[in-house]
Amino acid sequence: MASQGDASSSGSVTPPYRHDVFLSFRGKDTRSGFTYHLYKALEREKIKTFFDDRTLKRGENISTALLQAIEVSRISVVICSENYGSSGWCLDELVRILECQKSKQQVVIPVFYKVDPAHVRHQIGSFGEALAGLKYNEDKVPKWRAALTQVANLSGWTYVNGYESDFIEKIVKEIKELAGLHDQKKKEDVLGFNHQSNKDSTGLDHQKKNRNGADLYNQAVLEVQNFLHGADVNVNRSSLEVENNLNGAELYNRAFLEVQRKINGADLYNQAYLDVLNKINGGG
């Protein structure tokens, strides 16, 4: 823990954590409702949470302050609501969060609030329409698309209907388990994400183990999206039209299913191989 506060001229040392949780959300969708209730529930559990309109100081530069808050948070909760993808600021925030997941081992928990995770993953429906409306940021759109795909591939929570208070309670419980806040005597060690602690195995370690595969997958998605985006610009068609191109979608889905079949086939082959080895060894 002491090393986190050490200065570094190169800037490579992780800064000291100031927040347990950073909440990323679209204000017009959930600020005074779901997100605020989640914030209050976390605060009641003594989980220090960054919630922009209650944490920022008057006169502070909002963009700089929020980006810095992401970097000094242990966990980011990304609330993907209907209009999240229509905000270039939210999407920039998401890109930075995923960068911190990779460089600072930050835990990222997506919450799909009244949206289909598949719409986020493939940028269709309201998310496809939202990105089509952000074409003035053409240089950023490929990164935004890759970030949405990546966050939708993480293990998270989906809310459609029912009692929001019960749903929020489940999220808070998971965050407490990830941070080890149920055991105050070990709070500092666990919040520092001591990799010797088994408390991290349900969240941080799981994301680290799968990060390499996720990076390869997201790189491939980004390359495909860059290609489609370039084709879109060349023929003056909107990104929404490209997303809705049936032939392209069919080819994408067939390729995805083919990869899944090969993985499943490899698993069966490996199991059969192990069975044979076991019989040989047993027979010897």
Active site residues: 93
**Beta-bridge mates of residue 17:** none
Q: Specify the DSSP class assigned to residue 185.
A: G
Beta-carbon-side half-sphere exposure of residue 182 (alpha carbons within 13 Å):
8
Residues 6+ apart with CB under 8 A from 200: 178, 190, 193, 194
First to last CA, the chain: 53
Beta-carbon-side half-sphere exposure of residue 13 (alpha carbons within 13 Å):
12
Name the strand (E) or helix (H) holding 52: helix 52-55
How would you class 65 by CB atoms within 10 Å of its CB: exposed for 0-12, middle for 13-18, buried for 19 or more?
middle
The number of residues making up the chain comes to: 284
The SS3 call for residue 114 is: coil
